[in-house]
């Protein structure tokens, strides 16, 4: 079976996640920590990272809007000072 080039990163990511789950479950059995507790902890960490990323995106968007407003005001005031 041949995979298209576009499917390779997706396949590699899925393989990596599957290998991490298998390795992680073995390590968790050795340490005695329940698998579901560890998975929920990972899910909470991923949710926190997503939330932080969304906050950063919002800050960047707000800064971009603010900069555009400042440039617009500066352009208007320059046009008022030096009419054509």
**pLDDT reported for residue 59:** 93
Question: Tens-digit pLDDT profile for the chain (84 aa)?
Answer: 565 666 667 778 888 888 887 777 677 667 666 766 767 777 888 888 888 999 999 999 999 999 888 888 777 776 666 665
- 3-state secondary structure string across the chain: CCCCCCHHHHHHHHHHHHHHHHHHHHHHHHHCCCHHHHHHHHHHHHHHHHHHHHHHHHHHHHHHHHHHHHHHHHHHHHHHHCCC
**pLDDT reported for residue 3:** 58
Task: Compute how many other C-beta atoms are within 10 angstroms of the C-beta atom of residue 32.
Answer: 6
Report how far residue 45's alpha carbon sits from residue 84's, in angstroms, rounded to the nearest whole number: 58
Would you kindly state where each structural domain of the chain is located, as residue ranges? 7-81
């Amino acid at each position: 079976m041949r995979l298209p080039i576009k499917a390779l990163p997706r396949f590699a990511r899925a393989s990596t996640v599957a290998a991490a789950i298998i390795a992680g479950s073995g390590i968790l059995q050795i340490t005695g920590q329940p698998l579901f507790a560890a998975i929920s902890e990972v899910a909470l960490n991923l949710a926190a990272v997503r939330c932080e990323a969304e906050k950063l995106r919002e800050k960047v968007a707000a800064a971009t809007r603010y900069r555009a407003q400042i440039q617009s005001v500066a352009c208007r005031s320059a046009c008022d000072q030096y009419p054509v």
